[in-house]
Amino acid sequence: MKFRSRRVAGLIALVAACSGFVLASGPANAASTPVKYVALGDSYSAASGVLPVDPTAPQCLRSTQNYPQVLAKKIGAKLDDVTCGAADTTHFFKPQYPGMKPQLDALKPDTELVTMTIGGNDSGVFINAILYCGSSGLSTLGTGSPCKDKYGSSFEDTIRNTTYPSLVKALDAVRKKSPKARVAILSYPWITPKTGGCFPTMPIATGDVPYLRLLQTTLNDAVRRAASATGVTFVNLNGVSEGHDACKPIGTRWVEPVLAGTNPVIVHPNALGEAKMAEQTEKVLSKVPESPRPTVESPKPKVVPQTRIRKSVVKRAKRKAKFRFKSSVAGSRFRCSLDRRPFRKCKSPRAYRHLKSGKHRFRVKATSAGKTDPTPAKKRFRIRR
């Protein structure tokens, strides 16, 4: 009886949270109807690679141990799980595979709870970044920052200019389909550590580890901002997933690496990661919102800036060079260095005159809100004799 009463009380609290109001008191049978829960989203919601696979949608690689299934069991909800590996925001509106319906079709006016991870597959930007940086890391045997040097801020620019408005459109559509539902969107758990990495288990060059980390920070922040703009609850996994990236050992990591992993689908959450995603979602949802349009769970995190050299003009015969550069964070300050000289404050463009003949190396790094780019942008050039 003691266990039963606790379960009923917990379910009442969740129903209250999903409905946007607090039940001061009530009989036990007030929670007799399970919460109507719809799970949307991509492979991080589907738990692609975690066994066993849901036989009702084999093409989606949806696991019966994904975080929506774990959460539904914890709260006693009636779940309609339409998560699907490789889904992006367009699949909210159109079928992903023949014979399937758009994910939004699962939503009803009386749906009470909706969760999702979405956005990581939009424009192929995040998965392409992992693939490109992996191949680049292999080409240099894990040294340098070949991916950052080649792609610069292009991935982040796509997230800000394309992924973010797509997220807002998708979340607005969810709220319109189920106006009474508590809607929650999760960030993506950390894939890489802040620095260092674990080449070749994750075949990312040492200098590209913070580059990929910043890209995921930008993606998670786009999710946060879209949630804030549409009145959706943001489940922030940044803090709780720190120290559980793909470079950690089995039993600690929440995301599987490229090599020596336990899942057939690489760089995706394992069963432990999905369970922890469910745990954090339940924790956030148990906090009854003050209004039907909940506020963001945490303030905007400080973003580490990324520096890119936009243009370089080297006049070898005149022994002059000029560099134009930018930061991924507006309002950043810069420090420049030529050859082995120490970094000093500078502005774009930075010009050098009367250069000695021979090889030279220009470096520049951005600083914003106390955060400095750990991998300065660089350009090698030569002055004629």
What CATH number did the domain enclosing 331 receive? 2.60.40.10
Environment class of residue 139 by beta-carbon count within 10 Å: exposed (0-12), middle (13-18) or buried (19+)? Answer: middle
Residue 158, C-beta contacts closer than 8 angstroms, at least 6 positions apart = 123, 125
Q: Do 311 and 169 lie in a common domain? A: no
What's the confidence (pLDDT) of residue 305? 85
Strands 113-116 and 320-327: unpaired
Give the dihedral of Cα atoms 271, 275, 281, 285; nearest 10 deg.
150
What's the confidence (pLDDT) of residue 303? 75
What is the overall mean pLDDT for the chain? 88
How many Cβ atoms from other residues are within 10 Å of residue 252's Cβ?
Answer: 11
How many Cβ atoms from other residues are within 10 Å of residue 312's Cβ?
Answer: 15
Q: Is the pTM here over 0.75, yes or no?
A: no
What's the confidence (pLDDT) of residue 302? 60
Q: Do 316 and 277 lie in a common domain? A: no
The residue among 252, 285, 318 that closes a domain is: 285
Concatenate the DSSP letters of all residues of 296-321 into one string.
Answer: PSSPPPPPPP-EEEEEEEEETTTTEE
* DSSP at 144: S
What's the confidence (pLDDT) of residue 366? 93
Domain-embedded: residue 26:
no
Residue 304, C-beta contacts closer than 8 angstroms, at least 6 positions apart = 210, 213, 214, 217, 371, 372, 373, 374
- Sign of the dihedral through C-alpha 138, 144, 150, 156: positive
What's the confidence (pLDDT) of residue 65? 98
The residue among 285, 315, 330 that closes a domain is: 285
**To which H or E segment does residue 380 belong?**
strand 377-383
Are the CB atoms for 190 and 244 separated by under 8 Å?
yes
CA distance 255 to 271: 9
Which residue is listed with tokens 């995301």? 255
CA distance 124 to 139: 22
What's the confidence (pLDDT) of residue 10? 38
- Sign of the dihedral through C-alpha 257, 261, 267, 268: negative
- Active site includes 43? yes
- Active site includes 244? no
Q: Do 185 and 238 lie in a common domain? A: yes
Domain-embedded: residue 20:
no
Domain of 330 in residue numbering reads as: 307-383
Domain count, the chain: 2
What's the confidence (pLDDT) of residue 28? 35
CA distance 112 to 19: 7
Residue 199, C-beta contacts closer than 8 angstroms, at least 6 positions apart = 137, 141, 142, 205, 206
CA distance 122 to 257: 22
**Closest alpha carbon to 192 in 215, 217, 211, 209:** 209
- Sign of the dihedral through C-alpha 257, 259, 264, 270: negative
Domain-embedded: residue 8:
no
Concatenate the DSSP letters of all residues of 256-286 into one string.
Answer: --SSS-SSSSSSSB-HHHHHHHHHHHHHHHT
Q: Do 251 and 377 lie in a common domain? A: no
Positions in the chain short of pLDDT 50: 1-31, 288, 290-300
What's the confidence (pLDDT) of residue 12? 30
Q: Which residue in 43, 48, 166, 178 is the catalytic one?
A: 43
Q: Do 253 and 336 lie in a common domain? A: no
* DSSP at 82: -
Q: Do 217 and 332 lie in a common domain? A: no
Are the CB atoms for 267 and 120 separated by under 8 Å?
no
Domain-embedded: residue 353:
yes
Domain-embedded: residue 211:
yes
Q: Which residue in 48, 136, 166, 268 is the catalytic one?
A: 268
Helix, strand and coil in the chain, % to nearest 5: 35, 20, 45
315-345 tens-digit pLDDT: 988 999 999 999 988 889 999 999 999 999 9
Q: Which amino acid is at 252?
A: T
Domain-embedded: residue 313:
yes
Q: Do 246 and 179 lie in a common domain? A: yes
Alpha carbons within 13 angstroms on the beta-carbon side of residue 241 total: 34
